[in-house]
Amino acid sequence: MNQTATGPDRIAAKLAADLDAGFAALFEAHQHVLFSTALRICGRWADAEDLTATAFLRAFRALSGYDRERIAALRTRPWLLTILLNAWRNQVRTAARQPREVLDAEPPEAEARGASVEAQAERHETSRELAAMAVPAPGRLLDKVAARWTRVPGPAGDVYVATTDLGVAYLRTAGTAEEFAGLFRARFGRPLLPASRPPAGLLTALRTGRAGRIPLDLRDLTPFAASVLAAAMTIPRGETRPYGWIARQAGRPRAVRAAASALAANPVPLLIPCHRIVQADGAAGGYVFGSPRKEALLRHEGANLDEVRDLAAAGTRYLASDTTGVVCFPSCRNARRITPLHRRGFASLAAAGRSGFRPCLHCQP
């Protein structure tokens, strides 16, 4: 028990001092009671697990908006039970039905009709009933609620990486762990705890610029943003594509600015290589880590930035081979193999088409 009827809540004091570390203590202290209550009102193990995770996430997001005095004054167990019960009610309302399976007893609030949810939760806090019906929470439950962070070397300096149960969710260049945690919490509304080691394959992916099979947690992206980032992942190391290309690949060729915004909000740069999207004239353009770092990354990968810019300045945006009949972006690996004797330049894809050239299947201009 973390509190008496009149005494302070020690977990609340920890939360007020350090939100992420205090949340770990909060979860450890109350996970079994919350899961047992959820199992009692849902009747199904998987539903109870999801409901408990939802309650803890809602609790963390609420705590993120509280000042320290308000956090320190909390009675954490009844407060969490209130959140759990309200989350369950919302699920029932959304589904427009009652749960199909309910265990023997009515939900806890039904035992004290007319009393507030808070009062009912406090009754359970001081009773032995919750302890008697306690069921151990699943061992994986914390991973459904909290992310884990680690600091690792990257191609342009150290980076912080946050990983959830679904995969890598967030990557930013290193400042301080506190700054990274603040950025992560503001975007994802999840607690962030230290990891014992980096995810498997992460260091290799950062070193080579190829994410490979590393799982990514992109669940919060809009469908369009997901399409933009999926297209960015197809660009090989050492090559670039213009912003107009990626908008077209995402299915909205006129939404160039929207595509640029989706790239700027990329949660996992380097793993999803948004730095390989450049302006049509070959200029690097914006980047979450800054344009100088973007250009340095591209040069490190072997992109022919200077050649692309010189060609663009001369009015050439596409290169074609009169031996293969194929037209490419100048950064394409096929374009870079064309010898000067057989190379032809064009200002537009339409002009290349009128001259009998077909688009390259690799770079898809």
Residue 82 near residue 118, CB atoms below 8 Å:
yes
Give the total residue count for the chain.
365
Kindly report the backbone phi and psi dihedral angles of residue 64, in degrees, each rounded to the nearest multiple of 5, phi listed first.
-65, -25
Q: CA 287, 290, 296, 300 torsion: positive or negative?
A: negative
What element of type H or E holds 162?
strand 157-164
Q: 277 in helix, strand or coil?
A: strand
Residue 108 near residue 81, CB atoms below 8 Å:
yes
Catalytic residue among 42, 274, 360, 363, which?
A: 274
Q: Residue 172: left if φ>0, alpha if ψ -120 to 50, beta else—which one?
A: beta
What is the edge-to-edge ordering of all strands in the sheet holding 157-164?
167-173, 157-164, 147-154, 192-194
**Do the bridges between strand 318-321 and strand 192-194 make them parallel or antiparallel, or are there none, so unpaired?**
unpaired
Q: Residue 242: left if φ>0, alpha if ψ -120 to 50, beta else—which one?
A: beta
Q: In the block, which residue shows the tokens 């912080």?
A: 160
Q: How many CB atoms lie within 10 A of CB 169?
A: 25
Rounded CA separation 152/193 (Å): 16
Active site annotation includes 332? no
Kindly report the backbone phi and psi dihedral angles of residue 207, in degrees, each rounded to the nearest multiple of 5, phi listed first.
-75, -40
Residue 358 near residue 349, CB atoms below 8 Å:
no
Instruction: State the DSSP string of 319-354.
Output: EEETTT-EEE-TTSTTGGG--GGGEEEESSHHHHHH
CA dist list (Å): 136 to 29, 35, 57, 100, 256 = 12, 8, 19, 23, 51
Active site residues: 274
